[in-house]
């Protein structure tokens, strides 16, 4: 039987059929063209990043002509991917160090915990000034600042995920790699990275989605009484807001939607499909992730040729690294108790000194009254975050559960929820602002809605996942014994989705705190609405370049976030793990 | 027994397939009656729709056509006359033992005091006193299923439904719990009027049930009924007990045989029944069994001597009946063994395969697989005709998907690959999802 005799298969998708009919030709051409297009795009877009710029020559203004949007989008996408690359590099280094060295772990993990809780946007002012000083006379400084903002929204999550994978490596695999005397490099390449790959890719995908928000917020900013705008979709939106151009805003939203879907299809889906081979449980599930791009790449001969050509140099690098990290012989060294104590003392002293310095700086410049003021504002923002969580839960939990209980519906709508979660809410802010102005909605209440635009989807998304994970036999049991109405919710549904809801709540509240910095102050043209809250306080201080207030604002917000995490979320999470684990 | 509690009349059930391109017939024209005061077992291999039938009677899933009544009233929605014990226990992990037991009473709006009193009594009945405030994850599998029984019995249902309740437990625990349930039933104080048991364990069916209904596959249907004419409790040492299990083994290993309710002691040698309907070559499913397992079975048969009882062999292998029948099916399909009247005999090829050294036995296996397994032969032929001697797995999966659902097609393909690899006909690269012909392996570079 040859391929020509195959009867037409009605349910196969066109790509697969094309791939099969002309075994290689089409797939190869497609892959070749895609590669060329990608290279050309990178060259065209990348050239703009090293343009000279200084106080003397202003940046070219952002043009609102929709024809420029593909180029702007290209610049933004490039920024996102550079940040992603940096996040991966950071993840491997940081996660590895934290997991492999006890003393490093004791510094790095709490630090990661704090970095995760700190409002990234509050630091923009610091980083922008720093990077501009680093690359005087080039746009690269601003680019770096924007990329850094995106990086900070992705890297901590990813590093934590990799660290956790390293700490939970299957013991037998770890023993085997020790017994067969794998060098650290071999271990890293053959065991540690593959074992952490699936959670890492998922985490990177989710963080990447969140990164759009920070991209949009960091491309056009006012810092220290000066406005900067990098060519990109985010600054295009900012320019459209300043000019009150609704049409341009519409184009920007459309562009963003296309970009998100395209990157999902062309990058993340194939990556997820590829990473499925690193599953540790050794079962090949029928529901393995699929991607048409990945199928195309596999059907084509080009990637295989390329891999074969690259193999010899790669092998050489591999061998060199293996030799560099050769296994040390002799018994593993233990650290003495006195070293441990000394380390702890140094740690405590350093942390105490840092806190004392910050407190002294704030007190010496703004005084106690200002601290109380910031704490009070923080309380207002906290109330907003809580109101948001309660309302988002009340609205989305029933909907999420209804979707999650219908597998087919969930299959269709879960990607939609994921898309909505990664769509940068700040693209929608101008529309909402306009509505607030027209309908006379007070911004003190309206900002809750703005914060919810981005944060609520995490609740929906996780509720769907939680409901879908309630085993069928438990639901059948509930039917069988006649659990209905409120009793069914109280006994089965709410406890069943609790873990997932907590995960969603943590993410949503983190997102909401960050969003407060851009949603408590919004403008449309020359009208600016300012709510009273810690986010507005930080935004105001950042714009004016008021260092003591920036420090105080960011510090206070970090305090609130860390405090709420420790006092509420951490306990709920522990409760979910202890009692409500399915 | 004259009065019937649950009646199923000419019931059919079909599911739409995953791609929505047709439907799968799970049950065809099934009629069942569960009478007052009897224990009925539904016995069938996996895929015979026995769990589907149970769930239809419990009102958990709707049926496509036919009529189902419970205690005289037509069934719409969950059946209030039954309580179910699940194979997987189905305990809520966030509730304690007593809360789990009370939940059915709570759903029926029983007051708090009565609820606690009745729950404690049920917990006492299944021997779990002292564990009232434990959470399910603190309990062993056997204790979890005791909670499952207590939860079902506390509501005093008319019929207790048991959905393979012992199959997730280890052998000794299962035996112990089965014995206790039987004692409770025989004592006459059982908190239900009838029991309906779903199982694939022949011994269990004969031990617990008064009547055994045998289900057939593709589509699921009732093949017939065997009456267990033993005094309760059913004594395993009674010769009639062995006759009954042997008879059930004989009918289970031969899907074409007609079933006689009186289960005659001497099983007729030539199977009677309609000749098998010819099916397209690829539509005959391969049992998902590894080569090593088949070879293990053949060696055991060789050891035990010719014409051994299937029941005896299954007991020696200590695997579930389902697994055993799948292995036996594979051996028969490959022409290594024959089954007649519940007795298994090796063919000459089977003997050669079981006794020859490894390389020779591969040759025997290759001959048999090419002659008897169309999908493996198709793969080998297709690869041989290809210029580069390789093919993407999708191609064969698509061929199989004309006869099977997605997951079944994958299982069929994996079995074919396993058998083809062993006979050195072709190789499979799972990461590339590509099949290569063995003689001239083309490296993926």
Tell me the DSSP string of A479-500. HHHT--HHHHIIIIIHHHHHHH
Pick A298's closest partner by Cβ from B108, B430, B432: B432
Q: Which has the higher per-residue pLDDT, A548 or B16?
A: A548
Q: How confident is the model at residue A382 (pLDDT cuts 50, 70, 90)?
A: very high
Same domain flag for B245 and B388: no
Q: How far is A21 from chain B (nearest CA, A)?
A: 10
Assigned domain for B115 exists: no
Assigned domain for B198 exists: yes
Interface mutation target, options A15, A23, A481, chain B, most CBs of B under 10 Å:
A481
Task: Pick the range with the lowest mean pLDDT from A237-251, A274-288, B398-412.
Answer: A274-288
| Average pLDDT taken over every residue of chain B | 85
pLDDT value at A266 more than 70: yes
Query: Is 0.95 surpassed by the pTM of this model?
Result: no
Task: Domain of residue B68: give its range.
Answer: 4-81+157-253
Q: How confident is the model at residue A5 (pLDDT cuts 50, 70, 90)?
A: very low
Whether B94 sits inside 8 A of A308 (CB atoms) is no
* pLDDT at residue A90, as a whole number: 94
pLDDT value at A358 more than 90: no
- Contact residues, chain A to chain B, C-beta under 8 Å: 1-3, 6, 9-12, 16, 19-20, 277, 284, 286, 298-299, 304, 307-308, 311, 471, 473-474, 476-477, 479-484, 487, 491-492, 495, 579-582
pLDDT value at A97 more than 50: yes
Interface mutation target, options A24, A26, A295, A482, chain B, most CBs of B under 10 Å:
A482
Pick B107's closest partner by Cβ from A2, A6, A482: A482
The closest alpha carbon to A216, from A195, A192, A240, belongs to: A240
Give residue-wise pLDDT tens across range B321-368: 778 888 888 998 899 988 887 788 888 898 888 888 888 888 899 999
Same domain flag for B66 and B203: yes
Same domain flag for B298 and B213: no
Contacts of A487 in chain B (CB under 8 A): 106-107
Number of folded domains in chain B?
A: 3
Same domain flag for B383 and B329: no
Whether A286 sits inside 8 A of B406 (CB atoms) is yes
Using the 3D structure, point to which of B235, B253, B271 is the last residue of a domain.
Answer: B253
The closest alpha carbon to B61, from B14, B102, B94, B100, belongs to: B14
Give residue-wise pLDDT tens across range B99-142: 999 988 888 888 899 999 999 999 999 999 899 999 998 999 89
Interface mutation target, options B82, B94, B149, B151, chain A, most CBs of A under 10 Å:
B94
* pLDDT at residue B277, as a whole number: 47
* pLDDT at residue B416, as a whole number: 92
Same domain flag for B241 and B340: no
Section A450-473 average pLDDT? 88
Same domain flag for B247 and B165: yes
Whether A9 sits inside 8 A of B398 (CB atoms) is yes
Q: How confident is the model at residue A27 (pLDDT cuts 50, 70, 90)?
A: low
Section A169-177 average pLDDT? 81
CA angle at A568 for the pair A567 and A571, rounded to the nearest 5°: 90
User: What CATH number is given to the structural domain containing B206?
Assistant: 3.40.50.300
State percent of chain A over pLDDT 90: 16
Cis-peptide into A86, omega within 30 deg: no
Same domain flag for B231 and B316: no
Q: How confident is the model at residue A383 (pLDDT cuts 50, 70, 90)?
A: very high
Using the 3D structure, point to which of B234, B253, B272 is the last residue of a domain.
Answer: B253
Cα B337 from Cα B301, distance rounded (Å): 9
Cα B71 from Cα B33, distance rounded (Å): 11
State percent of chain B over pLDDT 90: 36
* pLDDT at residue B272, as a whole number: 44
pLDDT value at B17 more than 70: no
Give residue-wise pLDDT tens across range B423-436: 888 888 877 788 88
Pick B88's closest partner by Cβ from A1, A307, A473: A473
Interface size between A and B, measured as CB pairs under 8 A: 95
Q: What is the ipTM of this complex?
A: 0.73
Q: Which domains does chain A have, with CATH numbers?
A: 12-50+291-326 (no CATH), 59-280 (1.10.3720.10), 366-582 (1.10.3720.10)
Using the 3D structure, point to which of B354, B381, B402 is the last residue of a domain.
Answer: B354
* pLDDT at residue A377, as a whole number: 94
pLDDT value at A327 more than 70: no
Give residue-wise pLDDT tens across range B357-386: 888 888 899 999 988 888 898 898 888 888
Same domain flag for B221 and B338: no
Pick A495's closest partner by Cβ from B60, B94, B445: B94
pLDDT value at A390 more than 90: yes
Q: How far is B407 from chain A (nearest CA, A)?
A: 6
* pLDDT at residue A287, as a whole number: 60
| Average pLDDT taken over every residue of chain A | 81
Assigned domain for B269 exists: no
Assigned domain for B307 exists: yes
Check CB contact of B445 with chain A, cutoff 8 Å.
Answer: yes
Whether A491 sits inside 8 A of B92 (CB atoms) is yes
Pick B385's closest partner by Cβ from A1, A479, A491: A1
Task: Pick the range with the lowest mean pLDDT from A559-573, B8-22, B335-349.
Answer: B8-22
What is the b/e burial string over B244-259, where b = at least 16 CB atoms within 10 angstroms of the residue's CB?
Answer: bbbbbbbbbbbeebeb
Assigned domain for B238 exists: yes
Whether B106 sits inside 8 A of A479 (CB atoms) is no
Assess contact for A79 and A232: CB atoms under 8 A.
yes
Give residue-wise pLDDT tens across range A40-68: 777 666 666 655 554 444 455 778 888 88
Same domain flag for B50 and B173: yes
Assigned domain for B49 exists: yes
Cα A505 from Cα A220, distance rounded (Å): 29
Section A118-122 average pLDDT? 77
Assigned domain for B71 exists: yes
Same domain flag for B171 and B215: yes
Give residue-wise pLDDT tens across range B4-14: 899 999 999 98
pLDDT value at A16 more than 60: no
Same domain flag for B161 and B244: yes
Same domain flag for B384 and B427: yes
Section A9-31 average pLDDT? 49
């Amino acid at each position: 039987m040859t391929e020509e005799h195959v009867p037409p298969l009605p349910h196969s998708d066109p790509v697969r059929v094309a791939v099969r009919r002309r075994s290689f030709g089409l797939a190869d051409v497609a892959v070749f063209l895609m590669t060329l297009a990608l290279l050309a795009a990178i060259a065209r877009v990348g050239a703009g990043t090293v343009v000279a710029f200084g106080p003397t020559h202003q940046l070219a203004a952002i043009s609102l002509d929709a024809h420029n949007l593909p180029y702007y989008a290209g610049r933004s996408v490039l920024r996102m991917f550079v940040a992603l690359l940096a996040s991966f590099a950071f993840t491997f280094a940081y996660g590895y160090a934290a997991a492999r060295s006890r003393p490093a772990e004791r510094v790095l993990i709490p630090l990661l915990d704090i970095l995760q809780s700190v409002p990234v946007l509050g630091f923009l002012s610091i980083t922008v000034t720093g990077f501009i000083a680093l690359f005087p006379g080039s746009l690269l400084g601003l680019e770096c600042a924007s990329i850094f903002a995106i990086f900070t929204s992705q890297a901590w999550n990813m590093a934590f995920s990799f660290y956790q994978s390293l700490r939970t490596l299957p013991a037998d695999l770890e023993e085997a790699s020790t017994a067969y005397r794998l060098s650290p490099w071999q271990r890293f390449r053959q065991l540690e990275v593959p074992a952490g790959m699936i959670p890492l890719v998922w985490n990177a995908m989710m963080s990447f989605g969140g990164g759009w928000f920070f991209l949009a917020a960091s491309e056009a900013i006012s810092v220290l009484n000066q406005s900067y705008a990098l060519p990109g979709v985010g600054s295009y939106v900012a320019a459209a807001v300043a000019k009150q151009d609704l049409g341009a805003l519409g184009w920007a939203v459309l562009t963003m939607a296309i970009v998100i879907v395209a990157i999902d299809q062309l990058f993340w889906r194939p990556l997820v499909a590829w990473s499925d081979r690193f599953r540790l449980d050794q079962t090949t599930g029928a529901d393995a992730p699929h991607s048409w791009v990945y199928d195309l790449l596999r059907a084509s001969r080009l990637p295989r040729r390329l891999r074969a050509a690259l193999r010899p140099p790669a092998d050489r690098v591999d061998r060199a690294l293996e030799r560099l990290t050769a296994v040390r012989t002799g018994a593993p060294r233990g650290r003495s108790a006195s070293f441990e104590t000394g380390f702890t003392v140094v740690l405590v002293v350093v942390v105490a000194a840092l806190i004392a310095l910050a407190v002294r700086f704030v007190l010496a410049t703004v005084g106690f009254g200002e601290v109380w003021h910031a704490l009070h504002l923080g309380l207002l923002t906290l109330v907003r975050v809580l109101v948001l969580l309660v309302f988002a839960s009340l609205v989305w939990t029933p909907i999420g559960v209804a979707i999650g209980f219908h597998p087919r519906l969930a299959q269709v709508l879960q990607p939609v929820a994921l898309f909505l979660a990664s769509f940068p809410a700040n693209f929608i802010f101008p529309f909402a602002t306009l509505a607030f102005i027209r309908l006379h909605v007070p911004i003190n209440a309206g900002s809750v809605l703005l914060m919810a635009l981005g944060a609520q989807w995490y609740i929906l998304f996780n509720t769907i996942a939680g409901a879908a994970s309630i085993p069928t036999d438990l639901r059948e049991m509930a039917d069988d014994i006649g659990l209905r109405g409120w009793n069914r919710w109280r006994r089965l549904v709410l406890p069943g989705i609790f873990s997932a809801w907590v995960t969603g709540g943590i993410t949503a509240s983190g997102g909401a705190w960050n969003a407060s910095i851009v949603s408590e102050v919004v403008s449309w043209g020359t009208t600016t609405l300012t709510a009273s809250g810690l986010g507005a306080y930080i935004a105001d201080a950042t714009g004016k370049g008021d260092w003591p207030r920036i420090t105080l604002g960011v510090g206070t917000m970090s305090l609130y976030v860390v405090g709420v995490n420790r006092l509420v979320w951490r306990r709920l999470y522990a409760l979910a793990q202890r009692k409500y684990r399915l | 027994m004259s009065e019937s509690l649950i009646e199923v009349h000419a019931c059919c059930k079909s599911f739409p397939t995953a791609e929505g391109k047709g439907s799968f017939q799970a049950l065809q024209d099934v009629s069942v009656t569960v009478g007052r005061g009897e224990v009925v077992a539904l016995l069938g291999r996996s895929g015979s729709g026995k769990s589907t039938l149970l769930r239809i009677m419990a009102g958990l899933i709707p049926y496509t056509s036919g009529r189902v009544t419970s205690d005289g009233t037509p069934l719409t929605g969950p059946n209030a006359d039954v309580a179910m014990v699940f194979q997987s226990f189905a305990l809520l992990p966030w509730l304690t033992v007593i809360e789990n037991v009370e939940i059915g009473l709570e759903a029926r709006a029983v007051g708090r005091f009565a609820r606690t009193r009745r729950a404690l009594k049920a917990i006492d009945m299944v021997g779990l006193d002292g564990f009232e405030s434990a959470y399910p994850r603190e309990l062993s599998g056997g204790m979890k299923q005791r909670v499952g029984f207590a939860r079902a019995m506390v509501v005093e249902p008319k019929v207790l439904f048991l959905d393979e309740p012992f199959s997730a437990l280890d052998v000794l625990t299962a035996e112990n719990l089965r014995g206790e349930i039987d004692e409770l039933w025989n004592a006459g104080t059982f908190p239900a009027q009838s029991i309906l048991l779903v199982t694939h364990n022949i011994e269990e069916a004969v031990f617990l049930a008064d009547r055994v209904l045998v289900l057939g596959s593709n589509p699921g249907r009732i093949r017939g009924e065997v009456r267990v004419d033993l005094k309760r409790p059913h004594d395993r040492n009674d010769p009639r007990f062995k006759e009954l299990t042997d008879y059930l083994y004989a009918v289970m290993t031969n899907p074409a045989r007609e079933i006689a309710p009186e289960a005659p002691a001497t099983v007729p040698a030539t199977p009677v029944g309609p000749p098998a309907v010819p099916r397209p070559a690829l539509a005959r499913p391969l049992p998902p069994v590894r080569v090593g397992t088949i070879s293990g079975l053949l060696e055991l048969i060789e050891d035990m001597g010719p014409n051994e009882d299937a029941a005896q062999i299954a007991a020696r292998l200590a695997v579930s009946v389902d697994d055993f029948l799948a292995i036996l099916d594979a051996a028969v399909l490959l022409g290594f063994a024959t089954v007649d009247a519940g007795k298994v005999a090796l063919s000459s090829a089977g003997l050669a395969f079981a006794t020859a050294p490894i390389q020779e036995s591969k040759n025997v296996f290759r001959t048999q697989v090419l002659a008897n397994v169309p999908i493996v032969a198709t793969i080998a032929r297709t690869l041989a005709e290809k210029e580069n001697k390789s093919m993407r797995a999708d191609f064969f999966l698509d061929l199989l998907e004309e006869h099977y659902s997605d997951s079944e097609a994958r299982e069929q393909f994996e079995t074919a690959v396993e058998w083809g690899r062993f006979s050195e006909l072709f190789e499979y690269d799972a990461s590339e999802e590509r099949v290569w012909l063995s003689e001239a392996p083309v490296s993926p570079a």
